[in-house]
């Protein structure tokens, strides 16, 4: 196999007032011509910094590439060390020979230029063509990445496109100069599973058509299984394991790799809690890693599995209880206004006559693609969005008929955890003040000391430390910020929690920890959940029943096992089929198909 890119001893450091952090520590790997190298690891493992180092996009200061070589093999046989090139020469490689798709397309696209103009600019910057020829190539690229109405997309601005469409524009821009190597940094992380599946299919097809190599970066080994040929696993800047995709999944050697494989929610089993990385490894203060469990992944998962009798017993118990929440014919219609006087010409039926109930202690999963109405339904139940029809009966009270004072009192009993923890936390308040504010507004606690003790108790319950009381939101990781939001929601001792995509932006390992925490808190505090997500595997793990939404309506409802085992609707089957399986059978099938092609 012919190498395209060889990385030897790459070390990238970031300097702060207190220390020097080696974000990439002596990394060596090879990208083979025509193959896809998957780089997998948690946030902070160094995978994105590795790709930025290859592109020489590290900001100096505080970062610098302190050592190593990045060898690019030309088709002529010549070998070029990219780290030794003058910046002006490196620009001829960057974007032209090596292209990159960044994680968040909205921040990578210029909001004041049309999508077409931005691709035209990239083509004209690297290739000696006129404006008309660049526009023709841009239109061809938009067609190749299967964007609807490509002529219209040429003149559209980024904010007018969906997340999946913006990512296709980024792919078109990266492909504009027919690169030898495409680096994709978490290109599907924030997307629905169905959109993610189409993007992965598109990237596989483009790689085949253009005979290019890829570096695909993600935290999810399930996604890696769908697209990669070879894999390196990174942990705290070091490569801890490498091999072909089949070797990694069939016989993982490092305990960290085993943990990443195990913490993905399973579709074929109903688990009490998810395994985490810490079930497989311990780490000492000096960074030494020891293997905690010598069992394989399946053996550990089997120990945590519900028996059929336990599942049946829980379902029968829930079926015999009276509902805590009863939603009847709920509607949320948004008017479409046009003309000088804002005349209403129609309505967007975001939620269209849905009916369901939730039992005390139950978790109801609300699942569907972006735009199906699930988030609007959750907010309408709490009257954060005013319903335009229907009834919401919570604990015997009609929520829709309550005045603001009565609604404020009732809101102590139902709370919401939002999708993005960072934007839902006040950056000017410390963690302690954020939760104290909730207690003060509702007059809970005899005095300031009593309230502070309650906050410290809540921080302990979500596995945060007392010293975190005085820290601010920006000082925490994504998973820690979500724990803060959970603690704030628990402060009023609610009966019902609505979790709105509360783990969708997290690494699979952190996602497993937060899901386990939600399960433990549900059992300890007798909580009832409505769990909103686009990912049916996550919903299946945590839910007793699942309601599937499409175009504002509930199209299917049943127990978690029923929905997965025998879905009645094509839409539900599409959601299930879009989930990356990450099984040896699926990997072997893809390898066989690729070899045949």
Are the beta carbons of 455 and 435 closer than 8 angstroms?
yes
3-state secondary structure of 492: coil
For 457, left (φ over 0), alpha (ψ -120 to 50), or beta? alpha
- pLDDT at residue number 176: 87
Q: Quick one: pLDDT at residue 216? A: 94
pTM confidence score:
0.85
Cα–Cα distance for residue pair 111/134, rounded to 1 Å: 21
Q: Give me the CATH topology for the region 312-330+357-577.
A: Rossmann fold (3.40.50)
- pLDDT, residue 190, reads 67
* pLDDT tens digit at each of 597 positions of the chain: 789 999 999 999 998 777 888 999 999 999 999 999 999 998 888 999 999 999 999 887 888 999 999 999 988 889 999 999 999 999 889 888 999 988 777 778 899 999 999 999 989 988 888 999 999 999 999 998 888 889 989 999 998 887 778 888 988 988 888 889 999 988 887 678 888 888 888 888 888 888 899 999 998 888 888 899 999 999 999 999 999 999 999 889 999 999 888 888 888 888 899 988 888 888 887 778 888 866 777 888 888 888 889 989 998 899 899 999 999 999 999 888 877 777 888 888 999 999 999 999 999 999 998 888 999 999 999 999 999 999 999 999 999 999 988 988 888 899 999 877 878 888 899 999 999 999 998 888 888 899 999 999 999 988 888 889 999 888 887 778 888 999 999 898 999 999 998 887 778 888 888 899 999 999 988 999 999 998 888 999 999 999 999 989 999 999 998 998 899 999 999 888 888 877 777 788 777 776 666
Identify any residues that bridge with 43 across adjacent strands, giving them in sequence order.
none
Nearest Cα to Cα of residue 481 among 414, 425, 415 = 425
Q: What pLDDT, on the 0 to 100 scale, is given for residue 332?
A: 93
- pLDDT tens per residue across span 316-341: 899 899 999 999 999 999 888 877 77
User: Are 136 and 188 a contacting pair, CB within 8 Å?
Assistant: no
Integer Cα distance of 165 and 262 in angstroms: 32
Look-up: residue for tokens 């379902």? 315
Q: Do 275 and 511 touch, CB atoms closer than 8 A? A: no
For residue 336 the two structure tokens come to 């479409």
Predicted pLDDT at 589: 79
Six-digit token string for 360: 């005390």
In whole angstroms, give the CA distance from residue 370 to residue 534. 7
Q: What is the pLDDT of residue 336?
A: 82
Domain definitions of the chain by residue range: 312-330+357-577
Q: Is the dihedral of CA 588, 590, 591, 595 positive or negative?
A: positive
pLDDT value for 597? 61
């Amino acid at each position: 196999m012919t190498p395209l890119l060889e990385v030897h001893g790459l070390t990238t450091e970031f300097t702060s007032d207190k220390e020097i952090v080696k974000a990439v520590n002596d990394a060596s790997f090879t990208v083979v011509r025509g193959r896809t190298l998957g780089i997998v690891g948690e946030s902070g493992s160094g995978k994105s910094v590795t790709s930025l180092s290859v592109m020489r996009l590290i900001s100096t200061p505080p970062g610098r590439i302190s050592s190593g070589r990045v060898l690019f093999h030309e088709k002529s046989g010549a070998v070029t060390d990219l780290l030794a090139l003058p910046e002006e020469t490196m620009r001829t490689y960057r974007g032209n020979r090596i292209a990159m798709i960044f994680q968040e397309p909205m921040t990578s696209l210029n909001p004041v230029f049309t999508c077409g103009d931005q691709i035209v600019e990239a083509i004209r910057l690297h290739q000696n063509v006129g404006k008309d020829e660049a526009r023709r190539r841009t239109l061809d690229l938009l067609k190749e990445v299967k964007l609807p109405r490509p002529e219209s997309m040429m003149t559209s601005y980024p904010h007018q496109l969906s997340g999946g469409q913006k990512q296709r524009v980024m792919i078109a821009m990266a492909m504009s100069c027919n690169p030898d190597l495409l680096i994709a940094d978490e290109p599907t992380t924030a997307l629905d599973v169905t959109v993610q599946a189409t993007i992965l299919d598109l990237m596989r097809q483009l790689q085949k058509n253009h005979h290019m190599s890829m570096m695909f970066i993600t935290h999810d080994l399930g996604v890696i299984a769908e697209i990669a040929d070879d894999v390196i696993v990174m942990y705290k800047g070091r490569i801890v394991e490498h091999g072909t995709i089949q070797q990694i999944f069939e016989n993982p050697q490092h305990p960290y790799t085993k943990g990443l494989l195990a913490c993905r929610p399973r579709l074929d089993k109903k688990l009490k809690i998810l395994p985490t990385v810490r079930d497989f490894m311990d780490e000492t203060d000096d960074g030494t890693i020891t293997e905690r469990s010598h069992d394989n992944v399946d053996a550990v998962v089997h120990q945590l599995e519900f028996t059929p009798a336990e599942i049946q017993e829980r379902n029968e118990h829930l079926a015999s209880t009276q509902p805590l929440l009863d939603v009847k014919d709920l509607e949320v219609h948004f008017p479409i206004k046009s003309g000088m006087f804002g005349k209403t010409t129609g309505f967007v039926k975001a939620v269209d006559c849905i009916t369901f109930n939730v039992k005390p202690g139950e978790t109801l999963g609300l699942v569907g693609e972006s735009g199906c109405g699930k988030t609007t339904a959750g907010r309408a139940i709490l009257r954060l969005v005013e319903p335009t029809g229907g009834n919401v009966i919570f604990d015997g009270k009609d929520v829709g008929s309550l005045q603001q004072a009565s609604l404020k009192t009732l809101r102590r009993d139902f709370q919401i955890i939002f999708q993005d923890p960072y934007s839902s936390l006040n950056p000017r308040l410390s963690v302690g003040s954020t939760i104290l504010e909730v207690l003060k507004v509702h007059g809970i606690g005899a005095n300031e000391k009593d309230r502070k003790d309650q906050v410290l108790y809540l921080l302990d319950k979500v596995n945060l430390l007392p010293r975190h009381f005085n820290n601010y939101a920006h000082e925490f990781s994504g998973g820690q910020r979500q724990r803060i939001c959970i603690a704030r929601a628990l402060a009023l001792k609610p009966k019902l929690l609505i979790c709105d995509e509360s783990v969708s932006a997290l690494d699979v390992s952190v996602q497993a920890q937060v899901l386990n925490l939600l399960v433990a808190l549900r059992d300890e505090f007798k909580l009832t959940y409505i769990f909103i997500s686009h990912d049916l595997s996550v919903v299946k793990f945590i839910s007793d029943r699942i309601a599937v939404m499409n175009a504002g309506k509930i199209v299917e409802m049943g127990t978690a096992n029923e929905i997965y085992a025998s879905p009645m609707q094509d839409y539900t089957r599409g959601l299930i089929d879009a989930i990356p399986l990450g099984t040896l059978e699926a990997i072997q099938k893809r390898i066989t198909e690729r070899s045949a092609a």
